[in-house]
């Protein structure tokens, strides 16, 4: 089974050796559970949700069974209109659905310095998309890692290797559900 992680620097592994990036550590954890999967790293540092949409077709090649969508952090950091972020993410989910590819949507939260109105609008994007599309939903990609200096690099924004371990451990049940859905879809199709 081939999984692609379509994301930004958080999944690309900015500042980390390749083997410590989220896709590599996720593949190791899944393989340790006896699941024969490959996890491709289609993370691009600095990418926005719209950037992910623009490169979707070549980042998610034919033969992909499942995609983990981890985008939006840079949209929030740049203060982009949450409606545009939601529109781009919805387009990604629609195109993957049309291709019969199972999706795990990893949510993001706005940084607290963006103000209450922006935070409320941005943080509502992911639950709304999860309600509208048949995705496996993981509400906050950085759950348990964000703002913990022991789990982040010196910039305070990107997880270190220990932080990636926490992300993998927390998201693993949802990834296993994603794999189960992808297997069911391939049997049905």
Catalytic-labelled residue, pool 11, 59, 155, 186: 155
What pairs with residue 105 in β-bridges?
Answer: 69, 137
Catalytic-labelled residue, pool 9, 11, 49, 59: 9
The tally of domains found in the chain comes to 1
Active site residue 123: no
Q: How far is CA 54 from CA 12, 45, 92, 93, 135, in A?
A: 17, 15, 9, 13, 21
Active site residue 158: yes
Mean per-residue pLDDT of the chain: 96
- CATH at residue 181: 3.40.50.1110
Residues 24-50: tens digit of each pLDDT: 999 999 999 999 999 999 999 999 999
Residues 161-179: tens digit of each pLDDT: 999 999 999 999 999 999 9
Catalytic-labelled residue, pool 57, 100, 158, 165: 158
Domain of 121 in residue numbering reads as 2-188
Residues 8-23: tens digit of each pLDDT: 999 999 999 999 999 9
* CA-based nearest residue to 151, from 53, 49, 16: 16
Active site residue 100: no
């Amino acid at each position: 089974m081939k999984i692609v992680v379509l994301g930004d620097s958080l999944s690309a592994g900015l500042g980390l050796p390749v083997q410590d990036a989220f896709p590599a550590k996720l593949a190791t954890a899944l393989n340790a559970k006896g699941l024969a999967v490959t996890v491709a790293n289609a993370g691009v540092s600095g990418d926005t949700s719209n950037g992910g949409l623009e490169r979707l077709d070549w980042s998610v090649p034919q033969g992909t069974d499942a995609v983990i969508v981890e985008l939006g952090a840079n949209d929030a950091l740049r203060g982009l209109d949450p409606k545009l972020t939601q529109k781009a993410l919805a387009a990604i989910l629609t195109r993957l659905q049309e291709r019969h590819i199972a999706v795990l949507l990893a949510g993001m939260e706005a940084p607290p310095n963006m103000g209450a109105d922006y935070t409320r609008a941005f943080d509502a994007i992911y639950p709304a998309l999860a309600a509208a599309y048949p995705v496996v939903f993981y509400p906050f990609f950085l759950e348990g890692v964000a703002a913990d200096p022991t789990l982040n690099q010196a910039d305070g924004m990107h997880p270190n290797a220990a932080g990636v371990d926490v992300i993998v451990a927390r998201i693993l049940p949802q990834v296993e559900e994603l794999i189960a859905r992808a297997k069911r879809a391939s049997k049905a199709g």
